[in-house]
Amino acid sequence: MIYNAPVKEIRFVLNELAELTSVCSLPGYEDCSVELVDAILEEAAKFAEGVLAPINKQGDKGATLNDGEVTAAPGFKDAWQQYVESGWVGLRAPADFGGQGMPALVAIAAEEMWCSANLAFSLAPLLTLGAVEAIHHHASEELKAVYLPRMSSGEWTGTMNLTEPQAGSDLAQVRSRAVPQADGSYLVTGQKIFITWGEHDMADNIVHLVLARLPDAPAGVKGISLFIVPKFLVNADGSLGARNDVRCVSLEHKLGIHGSPTAVMSFGDNGGAVGYLVGEANKGLGYMFTMMNHARLGVGVEGMSVSERAYQKAVEYARDRVQSRAVGSPDPAGVAIIKHPDIRRMLMTMRSQIEAQRALAFYTAAALDRASRHPVASEAARNQALVNFLIPIVKGWNTEQANELTSLAVQVHGGMGFIEETGVAQYYRDARITAIYEGTTGIQALDLIGRKTFSEGGATARALLDEARATAEKLAAAGYASMASNLQQAAAEAERCVAFILGTFGTQPQLAAAGSVPFLKLMGIVLGGWQLGRAALIAREQLGEDGVDEDFLKAKIITARFFAEHMLPQVGGLAAAIVDGADSVLELDDSLF
């Protein structure tokens, strides 16, 4: 199951669409340069192709639990060791605690390749980095000194313990308790579910970040605190001490990502797990939000990455498989199925959406870097608003489409796609979680229409649509008629929806919410079309230059045109459903479903 990291494409998106040079010029990223990033991409690609991709299929067999101890899937422990030795864990970890402090934009490009190669594996570093981010921003210097260096190196991994059986995404319902002890630590008790890489044998220690309530905490989300609960306690000299009172009581039997053990974790079965308060009491939820942006962006990239891998597999099969005469040909000899128009339509559907998703995700990552580092406050704020608006779209759209795109990859394989040995079914199964965890698409969409659109009077939405229209004008001037007119029309439909949301959310929020997911998808399509329009214009310009890869640039333009002609027209139907269809979403009595 070969994976070819699309380094040329990634480089194009980084340099041209996300403007890497300007990110490298931000304060604190002085060490970053296009040349360094090129080298990082080459090495990350090699690692993805050579180490992670080959063990992805065997990872599907899953980790195993014996008496509270989880053994990672075959080959994973060794791959982790190599990953750690190569220094990959700390790529975007803070430089002051042993990380490399690279921009989010660079990290996300490497993360794409690792996720494509092996989604289940890549969740271990992604979760670890999330924990690093939370600790770095909110924990005391003491705790940072103990935990960050060894998490940034990958010697220890990290987890997020949020969900409880009764509480799904509704963290107001969290019941786990933490009782203060005389020495300043806490004793944590409770049960957490869906803990990704909650227990395994790849690292010496596992640092759980756990949401729990203090005895006197107020009800709801304002009474949640964040604790560090290590699997092994850490002695004063930094060596590992006693086993903490936290254990894995079972592993979930899941539809996909079998290589990543999803644990039910029990804290305090024997009196209480020792934990350490991160930051202030009752502020845990806010601390979680700190890492939410990168985490949600990361999951959006996961969805796109699995689609990319599935696309590659489908292309390979479509080139090799000979079946049926060419449509309309008198010659009865079979041809490679890539010659069949519907196979091409499926491949172009995958290809064009993946390129649009990558462009939008990387553009968002660059905005994330600018939001946190830009020296001009107004620019930082503008970029923060972009991040806020774009993250739910990248998370929601990329992952919803991952279900459809990996399904197309199965379809290209015909009957062979349904046979597990073929391998493409694994991508279909693995992708399915991405639209669910880190906030379902419904949660992303509510966030998008409420805090990200209504609360700011649609300012960012309209600014982005203005940019899309400006690109459409340039496309028209360049002679790309269908791209120009379809993007203009789609932007106009999007405006209509923004106006509808602004007009309803305040007084009749149920009407706005009824079309929230269609609105998220609509914005994904419009903004994806905008990014591909930008890409086509840049490719057109570069085509006149010396030494360029003409095939690559021409393919970019064709792909952008396909997206404009096949995806952008879907916007009209979505807008109609959003603006004219809200009542019929809400009308049926609950009892009549």
Positions annotated as catalytic residues are: 438
Q: How many Å apart are CA 103 and CA 91, to the nearest integer? A: 9
207 bridge partner residues: 158, 230
Give the residue ranges of DSSP H helices in 95-210.
104-117, 119-138, 141-152
Give, as ranges, the residues between 552 and 591 that touch a copy of itself (CB under 8 A): 552, 554-555, 558-559, 561-562, 565-566, 569-574, 576-577, 580-582, 584-591
Backbone angles phi, psi at 238, to 5 degrees: 90, -10
> Which residue's CB is nearer to a copy of itself, number 183 or number 421?
421
Residue 403 near a copy of itself by CB under 8 A? yes
> x/- binding map, residues 465-484, to a copy of itself, per CB under 8 A?
-----------------x--
Give, as ranges, the residues between 144 and 183 that touch a copy of itself (CB under 8 A): 163, 167-170, 172-173
Q: Minimum Å distance from CB 175 to a copy of itself?
A: 13
Give, as ranges, the residues between 428 and 467 that touch a copy of itself (CB under 8 A): 428-429, 432-433, 435-437, 440-442, 445-446
Question: Locate tokens 């559907």: which residue?
Answer: 349
CA nearest to 213, candidates 223, 221, 203? 223
Sign for the CA dihedral angle at 168, 173, 176, 178 comes to: positive
Q: Which two tokens stand for residue 498?
A: 């923004």
Give, as ranges, the residues between 296 and 315 that touch a copy of itself (CB under 8 A): 315
Give, as ranges, the residues between 316 and 345 that touch a copy of itself (CB under 8 A): 318-319, 321, 323-324, 327-328, 332, 334, 336, 338-345
> Which residue's CB is nearer to a copy of itself, number 268 or number 515?
515
> x/- binding map, residues 360-399, to a copy of itself, per CB under 8 A?
----------------------------------------
Residue 419 near a copy of itself by CB under 8 A? yes
65 bridge partner residues: 70
Residue at 268: amino acid letter: G
Q: Minimum Å distance from CB 204 to a copy of itself?
A: 29
Q: Minimum Å distance from CB 105 to a copy of itself?
A: 27
Give, as ranges, the residues between 489 and 548 that touch a copy of itself (CB under 8 A): 508-510, 513-518
Give, as ranges, the residues between 75 and 134 that touch a copy of itself (CB under 8 A): none
Q: How many Å apart are CA 226 and CA 199, to the nearest integer? A: 19
The span of 92-100, 413-421, 458-466, 471-479 binding a copy of itself (CB under 8 A) equals 413-421
| Cβ proximity of 206 and 199 under 8 Å | yes
Residue 67 near a copy of itself by CB under 8 A? no
Q: Minimum Å distance from CB 41 to a copy of itself?
A: 21
CA nearest to 490, candidates 572, 557, 393, 559? 572
Q: How many Å apart are CA 392 and CA 387, to the nearest integer? A: 9
> x/- binding map, residues 215-244, to a copy of itself, per CB under 8 A?
-----x------------------------
- Quick one: three-class SS letters along 369-386? HHHHHCCCHHHHHHHHHH
Q: Minimum Å distance from CB 393 to a copy of itself?
A: 15
Beta-carbon neighbour count of residue 320 at 10 Å?
A: 10
Give, as ranges, the residues between 249 and 278 that touch a copy of itself (CB under 8 A): 252-256
CA nearest to 566, candidates 394, 435, 403, 401? 401
232 membership: H or E segment, kind and range: strand 232-234
